């Protein structure tokens, strides 16, 4: 496995692979790799001839009160993990390589799918995400790029960007990987002290309650959201940013579960913000 830090080196690597007719799989990450990332890399390894992962803590997707400064960084450990699952190249650029002096271009979207949920609570977040993904797609030129379903809205918007901008890339969205206790894996879970980690299980438990109630015939989105809310509130002190039952494509609120929807949750436990989601298929 190689590690490169410049766009030119990354481009040279993937161009050589492309000239050999190889397919390129790409897993963009902010490092702090966990089993969720590794599952994406394994999937890319299965699907593609060459696997590229990026490790870049993208500053433009953090808000002014976000956790950019304390976001965990350990390239050496990330490289070991990536190599263990067969990644061929890690692209780990510095901020100045991605955003040189005078950088002014950004990609954004309009409409409810980008403005609601994470878009509402993290203004500018998706502009940062979409812009950095587009830049990385241009550098890596993958045939397929892999995203985790845990960041449901992100995967939806990236898929939409790729479609809208006519990029010849297939976005593959892979299932959320969970710990044995059901908590969706996230680099931010590292922030959780043992008690908070125990409390955080309430999110997945709440989603499970909603799914169980749906299976038993409950069709009211308000009722389903309330089941999730009660499970979360019962677990201990926290701030709920949102609990939404939404259309899987538009993210418009759903009132009655007469077709598939998605339940999305964002909760802050102490200083740590956690998100999770699940499908609701009546």
Pick between residue 114 and residue 192 the one whose CB is nearest to its own copies. Answer: 114
Catalytic one among 37, 125, 138, 143? 37
| Between 131 and 272, CB nearer to its own copies | 131
- For 19, the token pair is 């000239």
In the block, which residue shows the tokens 């976000």? 66
Q: Is 134 in the site for its own copies (CB under 8 A)?
A: yes
- How many residues touch its own copies (CB under 8 A)? 27
Question: Residues, the chain, total?
Answer: 282
Place of tokens 């956790």: 67
138 as an active site residue: the answer is: no
Q: Is there binding between residue 14 and its own copies (CB under 8 A)? A: no
* Residue 263 interacts with its own copies (CB under 8 A): yes or no: no
CB atoms within 10 A of CB 59: 15
Nearest Cα neighbor of 162 from 186, 134, 128, 143 is 134
Does residue number 109 form part of the binding site for its own copies (CB under 8 A)?
yes
- Give the residue with the Cβ less far from its own copies, 126 or 191: 126
**Which residues 6+ apart lie within 8 Å of 66 measured at CB?**
122
Distance CA 122, CA 40 (A): 25
Work out how close the CB of 16 gets to its own copies at its nearest, in angstroms, rounded to a whole number: 14
Distance of CA 220 to the CA centre of its chain: 28
Residues 6+ apart with CB under 8 A from 232: 202, 203, 206, 238, 240, 243, 265, 267
Q: Is residue 64 at the binding interface for its own copies, with CB under 8 A as the rule?
A: no
Residue 113 binding its own copies, by CB under 8 A: yes
Q: How far is the CB of 200 from its own copies (least distance, A)?
A: 33
Q: How far is the CB of 69 from its own copies (least distance, A)?
A: 24
Q: List active site positions.
A: 37
- Residue numbers of the site for its own copies (CB under 8 A)? 7, 11, 102-111, 113-114, 130-131, 134-135, 138-139, 160-161, 164-168
């Amino acid at each position: 496995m190689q590690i490169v830090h410049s766009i030119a080196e990354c481009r040279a690597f993937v161009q050589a692979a492309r000239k050999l007719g190889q397919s390129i799989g790409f897993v963009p990450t902010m490092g702090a790799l966990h089993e969720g990332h590794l599952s994406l890399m394994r999937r890319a390894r299965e699907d593609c001839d060459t696997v590229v992962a990026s490790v870049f803590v993208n500053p433009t997707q953090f808000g002014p009160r976000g956790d950019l400064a304390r976001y965990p960084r350990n390239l050496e450990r990330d490289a070991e993990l990536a190599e263990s699952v067969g990644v061929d190249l890690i692209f780990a650029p510095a901020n100045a390589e991605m955003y040189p002096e005078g950088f002014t271009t950004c990609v954004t979207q309009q409409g409810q799918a980008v403005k609601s949920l994470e878009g509402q609570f993290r203004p500018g977040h998706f502009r940062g995400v979409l812009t950095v993904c587009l830049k990385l797609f241009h550098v890596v030129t993958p045939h397929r790029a892999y995203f985790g379903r845990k960041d449901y809205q992100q995967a939806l918007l990236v898929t939409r960007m790729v479609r809208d901008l006519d990029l010849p890339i297939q976005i593959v969205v892979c299932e959320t990987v969970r710990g044995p206790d059901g908590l969706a894996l996230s680099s931010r879970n590292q922030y959780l002290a043992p008690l908070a980690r125990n409390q955080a299980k309430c999110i997945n438990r709440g989603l499970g309650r909603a799914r169980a109630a749906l299976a038993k015939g409950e069709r009211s989105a308000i009722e389903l959201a309330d089941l999730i809310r009660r499970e979360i509130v019962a677990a201990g002190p926290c701030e709920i940013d949102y609990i939404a039952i939404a259309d899987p494509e538009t993210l418009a609120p759903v009132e009655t579960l007469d077709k598939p929807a998605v339940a999305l949750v964002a909760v802050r436990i102490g200083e740590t913000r956690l998100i999770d989601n699940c499908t609701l298929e009546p």
